[in-house]
Structure 1
């Protein structure tokens, strides 16, 4: 069985005490064949690209900004850098980007989020790159903005925790739903894992967050098999089937230069 961690934050994981060489070794030992690193701060972009170059065909990069902090950050600079790295074929997606109403209550700041998010949607259309969506308590506005995405652009709802009805609407649109390793202990993710067709799922760690283990505060890519194992239990499928389908979905989503091998 092979796995792909479709969303993690390597720099933050290293800050929590992990060492890079050991992080990679543990992931490979766990049969992880690719990691999607998703830095969300401009100052981290170049370091993430350097990791991708060092670990080519194992670490891949997406670039985004945290929606709750759009108003504090240089959006123009982020878009300029994303454009450059995309033209140099150094990234496989844009994100995470989206809307966050959990942390942002002010209406003017929310309206600014809408404008910035719309710019990222336009950028994805221009660059023909998939979008990694952070949507927290904001689906009523996230989904209408996503209607502007061109039909040939893939979308993944990262660590999604909306209602099953909204998630099914996303799946009907052709979006992928990403189930994190915290599916082992969070009811919202378990409900989605049960309701959403396997053909619409990918898996992630969101490390260093959302650990599947109660005794481990720091998550990491090596733990992504826990998500596949739990989804298999919930859906009453084999872990092999879940691993195979979610891995191929990830390859298709990000157009990775890999072949899933059972």
Structure 2
């Protein structure tokens, strides 16, 4: 995402839907101004071209090519568009599986699409994936284990809410974890986050879906997540912030 030789971000937002904000273009400029290394995920391959054009000159914003599992029921045919653009994209997301009640009817199609994407990314190599795993962590990890070897790219589990055993399994597969403010609100999830490997932690907002004071969070608000994570870890904010930047550099090296 950000070359250590070319830029020095202050913060990391590794999963944000910039194109779902009303002030999309202004938000890209804000990320550059505030020094927020931001991965702008897309939910449909049709959004790739315009997103990429808008961020073409951004210092800190990169665009991910995605096909969201919640949209697979209606957009599976867009996998052909995804495949056409895959060679242009280093970052892939949002992809994954969602076994929640609203989307379970399409779960077999989701698995078909997810496995195809993983295999294509493995063939090309060097991709960095941000992956959705609602109520489907074991299934997601099984697909990664079978179809996306660690030496062929990197996986970041976005908004991970699996078990401690699943977290250990994910870490053994080389996965990273992106943490947002909402995850740190419950004691259960704080305990899980506290046990994640420090060198695999990143931060995210998942804006505009996460809100604060009834307003969508913005990439710059990830500083609050860093502060909460620092408190959880019992260390100064600057140490946690430096760790997150270091983890980003390792991820994309």
The answer, yes or no, to whether TM exceeds 0.5 is yes
Q: TM-score w.r.t. structure 2 length?
A: 0.86
Runs of 4 or more, structure 1, over 3 Å off, are 24-31, 186-189
Indicate the residue corresponding to 1:246 in structure 2.
Answer: 244
Indicate the residue corresponding to 1:217 in structure 2.
Answer: 215
Q: Does 1:159 align with 2:159?
A: yes
Indicate the residue corresponding to 1:62 in structure 2.
Answer: 64
Q: 1:81 & 1:180 partners in 2: Cα distance?
A: 32
C-alpha displacement at 1:121, in angstroms?
Answer: 0.5
Question: Could you tell me which of 52, 76, 81 is aligned with 1:78?
Answer: 81
Q: 2:115 & 2:65 partners in 1: Cα distance?
A: 16
Indicate the residue corresponding to 1:127 in structure 2.
Answer: 124
Q: 1:26 & 1:52 partners in 2: Cα distance?
A: 12
Q: Give 1:182-201 correspondences, 5 Å limit.
A: 182-201=182-201
Question: What is the aligned-residue RMSD (CA, Å)?
Answer: 2.0
SS in structure 1 of the partner of residue 159 of structure 2: coil
Q: 1:5 & 1:142 partners in 2: Cα distance?
A: 22
C-alpha displacement at 1:72, in angstroms?
Answer: 1.3
Question: Could you tell me which of 109, 114, 125 is aligned with 1:112?
Answer: 109
Post-superposition CA distance 1:87-123 (Å, at most 9, x none): xxxx3311111110013233xx312211111101111
SS in structure 1 of the partner of residue 165 of structure 2: helix
Indicate the residue corresponding to 1:206 in structure 2.
Answer: 206
Q: 2:61 & 2:123 partners in 1: Cα distance?
A: 24
SS in structure 2 of the partner of residue 154 of structure 1: strand
Q: How many residues align?
A: 240
Q: Give 1:35-50 correspondences, 5 Å limit.
A: 35-50=38-53
C-alpha displacement at 1:24, in angstroms?
Answer: 4.3
C-alpha displacement at 1:193, in angstroms?
Answer: 2.1
Question: Could you tell me which of 95, 108, 111 is aligned with 1:97?
Answer: 95
What 5-or-longer segments of structure 1 have no aligned partner? 86-90, 256-262
